[in-house]
Amino acid sequence: MRAAVLHAPGDVRVEEIADPKITAPTDAVIRLSAACVCGSDLWPYRGIEPVEGPMPMGHEYVGIVEEVGSEVTNVKPGQFVVGSFVASCGTCEICRSGYPSSCVNRVFMAQVGTQSERALIPHADGTLVPLPGTPDADLVPDLLAASDVLGTGWFGAVAAEAGPGKTVAVVGDGAVGLLAVLAAKQLGAERIIAMSRHEPRQKLAREFGATDIVTERGDDGVAKIEELTGGLGAHSVVEAVGTQESMEQAIRSTRPGGHVGFVGVNHDVTLSGEELFFSQVHLIGGPAPVRRFLPELIDLIWQRRINPGKVFDLTVPLGEAAQAYRAMDERRAIKAMLTV
Amino acid sequence: MRAAVLHAPGDVRVEEIADPKITAPTDAVIRLSAACVCGSDLWPYRGIEPVEGPMPMGHEYVGIVEEVGSEVTNVKPGQFVVGSFVASCGTCEICRSGYPSSCVNRVFMAQVGTQSERALIPHADGTLVPLPGTPDADLVPDLLAASDVLGTGWFGAVAAEAGPGKTVAVVGDGAVGLLAVLAAKQLGAERIIAMSRHEPRQKLAREFGATDIVTERGDDGVAKIEELTGGLGAHSVVEAVGTQESMEQAIRSTRPGGHVGFVGVNHDVTLSGEELFFSQVHLIGGPAPVRRFLPELIDLIWQRRINPGKVFDLTVPLGEAAQAYRAMDERRAIKAMLTV
């Protein structure tokens, strides 16, 4: 089958690799309906994460089940399914407590690769959620977003305790940040401040429910949030970048007793214990437990109540994946979809 | 009046200073029934926090109201009162949300000093809680503990979401850590693991409700907690020290999705964003919002359902405060009470 493979920073090639095969009785193989490129794929693409030999890329997926292992009972061939970017068993104590992305048996799908025609899904019963039927083609981007960026933005908003009466600030205007705005809106937040300096992203943020846009960053951004919140800071802040500056901006934009949900994969970030102590904010983050939210998200999409697929502003065939990576790297695209 | 004054690291003297005077209409002056030395008083005593000129010491207090400002309505002269180590207005948005220790008008009582015969209490209406009557003498240590160490241990346990069905680990066997054990027990925790290598403290931890004692520290301590929790880590961990080692020990002893309540004042601590991201634990700490818990704590003490005053294992007259500091510094005493 064809798959996008990263050979070295900046060098993504679509080439023939072996078809996935079921090896464990809990595996499934799906045929992808569409694939996409994630902001976190850019870390190795930019060489910020090491690239050790050719690596199949991608971790988001929707598609049709082709084959299942002998112990799989929740999904069957022919069903259209969505799953999280982390495969999880669904039965361990951590899964059952609502944190499937930290499942004791987890497999990061980035280690498997899903920018391809087919994909192996470990722990199919715990991981995949079948749809009520075959979706209309225009719903596929929305469902694909649920696999990671929507689920991650949603977790950010839930972790930040966005809800009625709350002022929510979102640091980061990538797909995850924008979908955290959508999530905050769905969760009933009163005021949603998107921090963005890019006009097309500001526009989408407003469409998703942002009530205010702050273009300033760093200390100036923090000062602006304080100005908008009577000097106190936001109740809820979603961090969706993962850098030193964005983490500090998020923590400092939050009022004492408020909540930070941080979902940007942290890279070279060190936080001061003293600052965390005296800022007295709640902090929770990490790889989003997307599987927890999938049934609800699929239902919202199926009912056409949300349009998360709007974050895809570039669509190219799988064969031109390199072009998709370049566009995202150069911030010409928010998020690129690959037709398979 | 007489007060304990720190002149330089290691140099505490009890000397005559001016009596406190009401300057704001929201002030009160109390006559202390007893005072005490806190673990955090040891930071400047040890020179780890700078000592800039003579500083009156202490921030915990119980006593009888002597005089109130013209706007004070919640307490009156003659009443026995307990207050938090942070004076708070009780009316700002942060106070009303349950975080009075981050009140926008807060005054740290450590800047006022309470190891003395009398003390000025700013924001008396927001800060002081009057008792139903004059307590029996044997309740005074319990009530004094509520002013900080009990309230702080309690916050740690609440922040760590200790409760029914939970395994709680407590890092630190000072008065705050021991009282976090008591709090976890009161909150209904199923299993309470005290991390301590000091026999008298282990004994008190057991008396307060600890079901297990772990003597190992650092990585070995983390491994022991994992061993006791099926490899997952504790649901709830209270950090009550404030060092790099203890913060890491607390975070690493917590299962994914679990909660760390950190109440040890952090000194020279830096936390890795990557580790926090992938550990996926909830983190909240800071100066404890003791005032939030005081009515409940006073009620438990008044009904003689808890005995937090047991942490005082040394009692000396105020005039011998230097001896109390030395005993705590050398870990000969868990916590020292000063009779006034």
pLDDT at residue A61 in the model: 97
Does residue A40 share a domain with residue A140?
yes
Does residue A94 share a domain with residue A11?
yes
Does residue A302 share a domain with residue A186?
no
Q: CB B286 to CB A278 under 8 A?
A: yes
Does residue B238 share a domain with residue B250?
yes
Q: CB B282 to CB A287 under 8 A?
A: no
Does residue A272 share a domain with residue A158?
yes
Q: Compute the distance between CA of residue A122 and CA of residue A27 in angstroms, rounded to an integer.
A: 5
Neighboring chain A residues of B272 at a CB cutoff of 8 Å = 266, 269-271
Does residue A138 share a domain with residue A15?
yes
Neighboring chain A residues of B49 at a CB cutoff of 8 Å = none
pLDDT at residue A53 in the model: 86
pLDDT at residue B78 in the model: 98
The CATH number of whichever domain residue A113 belongs to comes to: 3.90.180.10
Neighboring chain B residues of A93 at a CB cutoff of 8 Å = 230, 232, 255
The pLDDT of B215-233, averaged and rounded, is: 97
Distance from CA of A106 to the nearest CA of B (A): 12
The CATH number of whichever domain residue B222 belongs to comes to: 3.40.50.720
Sign of the torsion angle spanned by Cα atoms B72, B76, B77, B82: negative
Q: Which of B141, B101, B110 minimizes the C-alpha distance to B263?
A: B101
Contact B160, B236 (CB under 8 A): yes
Sign of the torsion angle spanned by Cα atoms B75, B76, B78, B83: positive
Q: CB B104 to CB A282 under 8 A?
A: no
For A43-58, the pLDDT digits (tens) are: 999 998 889 889 999 9
For A234-278, the pLDDT digits (tens) are: 999 999 999 999 999 999 999 999 999 999 999 999 999 999 999
Does residue A124 share a domain with residue A13?
yes
| Position B11 pLDDT exceeds 90 | yes
Which residues, 6+ apart, have CB-to-CB distance to B332 below 8 Å? B314, B326
Does residue A213 share a domain with residue A143?
no
Q: How far is CA A187 from CA A97, A182, A209, A269, A296, in A?
A: 21, 9, 11, 29, 12
Sign of the torsion angle spanned by Cα atoms A230, A236, A238, A244: positive
Sign of the torsion angle spanned by Cα atoms A141, A144, A145, A151: positive
Structure token digits, residue A198: 């890019």
Range of the structural domain that residue B128 is part of: 2-148+289-339
Domains of chain A: total: 2
Q: Compute the distance between CA of residue B210 and CA of residue B190 in angstroms, rounded to an integer.
A: 10
Which residues, 6+ apart, have CB-to-CB distance to A315 below 8 Å? A336, A337, A338, A339
Does residue B175 share a domain with residue B143?
no
Distance from CA of B262 to the nearest CA of A (A): 8
Does residue A115 share a domain with residue A13?
yes
Does residue B252 share a domain with residue B279?
yes
Of A253, A269, A285, the residue that ends a domain is: A285
Which amino acid is located at A311 in the chain?
V
For A119-177, the pLDDT digits (tens) are: 999 999 999 999 999 999 999 999 999 999 999 999 999 999 999 999 999 999 999 99
Does residue A258 share a domain with residue A183?
yes
Of A268, A285, A302, the residue that ends a domain is: A285
Of B266, B285, B304, the residue that ends a domain is: B285
